[in-house]
Amino acid sequence: MGPEMKNRLKVFRAMHDLTQEGLAEKVGVTRQTIHAIEKGKYAPSLDLAFRLSRFFEVQIEELFFYEETKK
């Protein structure tokens, strides 16, 4: 197996005391999109990944990263 996209979206959202709905409104997506990203079921577009990192004022690599998966 190859690398798997991971994220710390839930952590940053909690640090800013935001619900999935609240974050979704701030970056212009649905709550379902935020939920799917947090669960690792959906990889955001580059545009959305940058919008999220800008919103939290962090480098994109702090929010999204690849992790090697074991066979």
Mean pLDDT of 46-65: 96
What three-state secondary structure class fits 55?
Answer: helix
Contacts of 27 (CB under 8 A, 6+ apart): 48, 51, 52, 55
Helices in the chain by DSSP H: which ranges?
9-15, 20-27, 31-38, 46-56, 60-63
Mean pLDDT of 47-55: 97
pLDDT for residue 15 is more than 90: yes
Which of the following CATH numbers is that of domain 7-56: 3.40.190.100, 2.10.109.10, 3.40.50.300, 1.10.260.40? 1.10.260.40
pLDDT for residue 71 is more than 80: no
Count of CB atoms within 10 A of residue 56's CB?
22
